[in-house]
Amino acid sequence: MAGAGPGLALGGLLDYKTAKFALTRNRRVGLLHRLLQLGVLGYLLGWVLLVRKGYQDTDRAPRAAVVTKLKGAAAVAGTSRRLWDAADYARPPQGEDVIFLVTNFIATAQQAQGTCPESAAVLDAVCTEDADCPMGNPVARGNGIKTGKCVMFNTTHSTCEIYGWCPVENSTLPRKPLLAEAENFTLFIKNTVHFTKFNFSKCNTLQTNDPTYFKTCLYDSFFSPSCPVFRVRDMVEAAGETFGDLALLGGSIGVRIEWDCDLDQPAARCQPQYSFSLQDRSYNFRTASYYWDSQRQLHRNLLKLYGIRFDISVHGQPHGFLLASLLLTLAGKFSIVPAAVSIGTGIAFFGAATVLCDLVLLYLDAKAEFYWKEKFEEAKPPKCKTEAAA
């Protein structure tokens, strides 16, 4: 018997198992099997094919180009009435995927380099004697370098004298946005997207021979979806804000252009969808213009600009149908791989439903022992006649 051990082990290793089908009249397991099959079929047709479009290939890395232009004019009243047009309130003037619209500002005119009292609003500059203003030290969050003197800023405050651009920057913010008319300005957004995987390009502007179309139209998702001219107030309101509140201290608005195109449909149906979101409630920066006076002394006019920054992002996901892919594979536009993966997954789920029902039948059913004997059977070859006679 000891010598038969390796032989039996080798014989078991070389055994071959084949499937045996046994028809069982078990309604509970049969119902479970049909319900699982219906669930798999619903998942495959409803979710994978219809909702997720698993039979289509996609290009998730499109190339996009954005050109922007702001249009409008506003007059600012004051000691001298000044007109602001696109060359004044648009930054950068050439128009890119990030553009800034000036809605408010603080002006400090005719600054020259010299000595003057630091602003009393700067905490590090408040002093009572010269010892509080060590010479050569920069003023923390201030406008210049301390000269070592404590001087009168006004009748109630003394501050350190500084060397810098004098007079120091004005910090009085207007109570209302100075460019309130900017709510009626328009932003033209021209976007061209190219899906290199499918060699497909599309522009968001209407192809028209009418030279006045873009000068008169305004974007409307229903009436004018191909007009990429947006009123600033409409964009701010679409982001959930009011123009007056956002224009005072500035802010940032995200403009998302979504290209979700089904390339099985005509190219005219591939249209972008626009959405707007508020990203920040405060935005400003400083800029200055320089000039020389008659005494050859350098001067500058300083502007602290508040406004709305528009950040434009482009996203795309084109896809194509399986049947079209069979016909147009040579053009490199479609791929059959996603469809094969989706169908293969569905077939695997059908097989898993059968395995699950087998486990229920063989291990959980009240007649599991009976079904086990019927399903598994050892097939033995018949004995030879000589062995039978012996």
Inter-axis angle of helices 337-359 and 27-42, to 10 degrees? Answer: 160
- Per-residue confidence (pLDDT) for residue 49, from 0 to 100: 62
Q: Is residue 293 part of a domain?
A: yes
Q: Which residue's entry shows tokens 């695997």?
A: 348
- Per-residue confidence (pLDDT) for residue 7, from 0 to 100: 57
> Count of CB atoms within 10 A of residue 270's CB?
19
Closest listed residue to residue 59, CA positions, set 390, 253, 317:
317
Is 199 assigned to a binding site? no
**Distance between CA 171 and CA 142 in Å, rounded?**
12
Same domain, residue pair 193 and 67: yes
Same domain, residue pair 184 and 244: yes
Enclosing H/E stretch for 376: none
- Per-residue confidence (pLDDT) for residue 323, from 0 to 100: 32
User: Where does residue 44 fall: left (phi above 0), alpha (psi -120 to 50 degrees), or beta otherwise?
Assistant: alpha
How confident is the chain (390 residues) per 10-residue block, as mean pLDDT? 54 66 72 79 70 57 83 79 85 83 94 94 93 94 94 93 94 91 93 80 85 88 89 95 94 91 75 92 93 93 95 74 32 53 74 77 70 64 57
- Per-residue confidence (pLDDT) for residue 56, from 0 to 100: 55
- Which residue, 303, 332, 361, sits at the end of a domain? 332
**Distance between CA 219 and CA 224 in Å, rounded?**
5
Same domain, residue pair 343 and 318: no
**Distance between CA 160 and CA 264 in Å, rounded?**
72
Determine the residue type at 183: E
Q: Is residue 135 part of a domain?
A: no
Residues 187 and 69 sit within 8 Å (Cβ to Cβ): yes
Q: Which structural domain range is residue 37 located in?
A: 27-54+335-375
Same domain, residue pair 264 and 353: no
Partners of residue 347 on adjacent β-strands: none
Angle at 154 between CA 148 and CA 157, to 5 degrees: 65
- Per-residue confidence (pLDDT) for residue 215, from 0 to 100: 86
Q: Is residue 309 part of a domain?
A: yes
**Distance between CA 71 and CA 185 in Å, rounded?**
6
Q: Is residue 162 part of a domain?
A: no
**Cα torsion through 5, 10, 12, 14, rounded to 10:** -170
- Per-residue confidence (pLDDT) for residue 242, from 0 to 100: 94
Is 209 assigned to a binding site? no
Is 284 assigned to a binding site? yes
**Distance between CA 307 and CA 67 in Å, rounded?**
20
Is 188 assigned to a binding site? no
Is 197 assigned to a binding site? no
262 phi, psi to nearest 5 deg: -100, 105
**Distance between CA 248 and CA 253 in Å, rounded?**
15
- Per-residue confidence (pLDDT) for residue 77, from 0 to 100: 73
- Per-residue confidence (pLDDT) for residue 332, from 0 to 100: 29
From first CA to last CA, the distance across the chain in angstroms is: 23
- Beta pairing class for 319-320 and 144-152: unpaired
Domain at 243, CATH number:
2.60.490.10
Is 170 assigned to a binding site? no
Is 326 assigned to a binding site? no
Is 304 assigned to a binding site? yes
* Predicted structure pTM score: 0.68
